[in-house]
C-alpha cells in the first residue's frame, strides 16, 4: 500500500506558494488568500476581520470560555508556566509541546486552567477596552475538533481551532473564510506561517461579509451579437474527392518534438526507479518514484534552492526554483547536501531517499502555486 501524499500536498502548498514569490515580490503585494486569476483580494480580506486582540499586562488573553497566554522572547513552556503559576506539564500537554520546548515571541498557548487577569483592561477582538475581571470564570472545555460548518463568531469570543495533521495556515484560513495574514496576526505566527499538529489557533472575528464581485449587467437589447457563419456570406468550395484506387500521397516525416524542447521545459529524473503513484491534480499533485533508501536525489535542472522546510512529521522538503518561475519539489528525503540559497546544477546530488516501507521520492513540478504533471517535463 503506497502512502498517500494528499496531506503532504497541503503542507507543501504553504511553503511553495511563499517561496515561489519570495525575493521577487514585496511582502505587501502578496495575494495572501491565493485566489489565483481573480486579482489580489488580500486588501478586501483584511478589511473583513477585526484588529488582532491585545493581551493584558500579564500577556493573557481572556475570553468567557478559555484563556491564552502570549510568550515573551526567550520563553520556554516551563518558563511561561512558572510566570503564570501553572503546572508546566499540563500547559505543555494542552498545547502538544514539551516543558523544555522554546517558544517564539508572540506565540499563543492555550491555558489548561484560568489564571487571574491583570488589573488593567485589555482589548478583545478590536472592540475596545474590556474589563476582563468582569468576565465569567467558566471552566475551560476540552478542545474539540473543528466544526463541520465553520464560520467566524459574531460575538467577541473567537472560535478555537486545533490544528490537525496536514493542515497549514492557508487551508485553515480558507476553511473559515478569513485571510492567512489575519490568522497569522491574531495568533503570532512566524514569517513562514508555520503551524504544528495539536496547536490551538483562534479564528479572527469577522466585521462584515466577504466582498462579492457583482457581474456587470447587460442593458436590455444589447446582448452580444451572434456572429455570421462564413457559409452564409461565401459558399463553401466544391469538395474534391479522389477515387479509392488513387495512390495516396507520401506521408511527410514526423517532426522531432524532442529537438524543439528547451532546457527549461526538459527535466531530468531526480531518481531512477518505477513510478508507483502517478499525478492527479486533486489527489496527488506529483509523482511517487520508488527507490532504495539512501539513493541519491538529484536536481532535475539548474536552479537555486528556494526553500528547505519540513512537514508536520519533521521530514525535510526541498524546493528548487528554475528559470521561468518553474519550481521542483522533493519530499521524503533526508541527508541534505544543500542549503537555502545554494546554486545547483542539473544532476547534482541534493539529498538522499528517506527510509520507508516502501522507500520512495515524492516529486512535484509547479508553476507558481499551480501543480503540473511532472511527466510532461521529464526526459
- Report pLDDT digits (tens) over 243-265: 666 556 666 665 554 443 434 45
Is residue 22 a part of any domain in this protein?
A: no
- Which of residues 202, 232, 250 is at a domain's end? 202
Place 339 in a pLDDT band, splitting at 50, 70 and 90: very high
Angle at 20 between CA 352 and CA 332, to 5 degrees: 20
Residue 174 has pLDDT above 80, yes or no: yes
31 vs 182, residue with greater confidence:
182
Predicted local distance difference test score (pLDDT) of residue 270? 94
Q: Are residues 198 and 279 in the same domain?
A: no
Predicted local distance difference test score (pLDDT) of residue 220? 62
Is residue 281 a part of any domain in this protein?
A: yes
Which stretches of 47-203 are assigned E, i.e. beta strand? 60-62, 67-70, 108-110, 122-123, 129-130, 160-162, 200-202
- Which of residues 202, 217, 247 is at a domain's end? 202
Range of the domain at 65: 60-202
CB 351 within 8 A of CB 333: yes
Give the helix ranges, DSSP H, for the chain.
Answer: 6-21, 42-47, 77-84, 88-94, 169-175, 180-187, 230-233
Give the whole-number percent of the chain exceeding pLDDT 70: 61
Q: Are residues 65 and 192 in the same domain?
A: yes
Q: Are residues 179 and 288 in the same domain?
A: no
pTM metric for this prediction: 0.40
Q: Are residues 197 and 300 in the same domain?
A: no
Mean pLDDT of 269-293: 90
Query: Domain count of the chain?
Result: 2
Give the three-class secondary structure for 47. helix
Q: Are residues 195 and 298 in the same domain?
A: no
Among 32-36, 37-41, 50-54, 129-133, whose mean pLDDT is lowest? Answer: 129-133
State the cell numbers at 59.
500577556
CB 285 within 8 A of CB 16: no
Predicted local distance difference test score (pLDDT) of residue 90? 93
Mean residue pLDDT across the chain: 74
Q: Are residues 196 and 291 in the same domain?
A: no
Residue 304 has pLDDT above 50, yes or no: yes
Q: Are residues 194 and 88 in the same domain?
A: yes
190 vs 42, residue with greater confidence:
190
Among 18-22, 131-135, 222-226, 359-363, whose mean pLDDT is lowest? Answer: 131-135
CB 204 within 8 A of CB 171: no
- Which of residues 146, 170, 202 is at a domain's end? 202
Place 370 in a pLDDT band, splitting at 50, 70 and 90: confident
Amino acid at each position: 500500500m503506497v502512502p498517500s501524499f494528499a496531506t503532504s500536498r497541503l503542507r507543501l502548498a504553504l511553503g511553495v506558494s511563499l517561496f515561489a514569490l519570495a525575493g521577487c515580490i514585496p511582502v505587501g503585494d502578496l495575494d495572501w488568500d491565493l485566489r489565483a486569476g481573480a486579482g489580489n483580494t488580500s486588501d478586501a480580506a483584511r478589511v473583513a476581520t477585526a484588529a488582532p486582540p491585545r493581551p493584558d499586562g500579564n500577556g493573557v488573553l481572556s475570553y468567557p470560555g478559555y484563556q491564552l497566554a502570549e510568550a515573551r522572547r526567550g520563553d520556554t513552556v516551563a518558563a511561561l508556566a512558572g510566570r503564570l503559576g501553572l503546572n508546566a506539564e499540563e500547559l505543555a500537554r494542552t498545547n502538544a509541546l514539551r516543558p523544555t520546548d522554546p517558544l517564539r515571541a508572540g506565540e499563543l498557548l492555550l491555558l489548561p486552567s484560568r489564571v487571574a487577569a491583570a488589573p488593567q483592561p485589555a482589548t478583545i477582538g478590536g472592540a475596545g477596552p474590556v474589563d476582563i475581571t468582569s468576565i465569567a470564570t467558566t471552566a475551560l472545555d476540552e478542545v474539540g475538533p473543528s466544526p463541520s460548518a465553520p464560520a467566524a463568531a459574531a460575538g467577541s469570543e473567537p472560535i478555537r481551532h486545533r490544528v490537525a495533521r496536514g493542515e497549514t495556515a492557508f487551508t485553515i484560513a480558507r476553511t473559515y473564510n478569513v485571510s492567512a495574514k489575519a490568522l497569522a496576526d491574531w495568533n503570532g505566527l512566524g514569517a513562514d506561517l508555520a503551524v504544528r499538529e495539536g496547536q490551538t489557533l483562534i479564528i479572527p472575528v469577522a466585521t462584515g461579509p466577504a466582498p462579492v464581485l457583482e457581474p456587470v449587467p447587460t442593458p436590455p437589447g444589447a446582448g452580444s451579437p451572434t456572429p455570421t457563419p462564413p457559409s452564409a456570406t461565401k459558399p463553401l468550395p466544391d469538395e474534391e474527392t479522389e477515387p479509392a484506387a488513387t495512390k495516396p500521397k507520401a506521408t511527410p516525416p514526423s517532426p522531432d518534438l524532442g529537438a524543439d524542447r528547451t532546457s527549461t521545459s526538459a527535466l531530468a529524473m531526480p531518481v531512477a526507479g518505477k513510478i508507483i503513484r502517478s499525478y492527479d491534480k486533486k489527489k496527488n499533485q506529483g509523482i511517487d518514484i520508488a527507490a532504495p533508501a539512501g539513493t541519491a536525489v538529484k536536481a532535475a535542472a539548474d536552479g537555486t534552492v528556494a526553500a528547505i522546510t519540513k512537514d508536520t512529521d519533521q521530514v525535510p522538503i526541498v524546493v528548487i526554483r528554475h528559470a521561468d518561475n518553474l519550481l521542483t519539489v522533493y519530499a521524503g528525503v533526508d541527508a541534505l547536501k544543500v542549503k537555502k540559497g545554494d546554486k545547483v546544477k542539473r544532476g547534482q546530488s541534493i539529498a538522499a531517499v528517506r527510509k520507508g516501507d516502501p522507500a520512495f521520492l515524492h516529486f512535484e513540478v509547479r508553476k507558481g502555486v499551480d501543480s503540473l504533471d511532472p511527466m510532461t517535463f521529464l526526459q
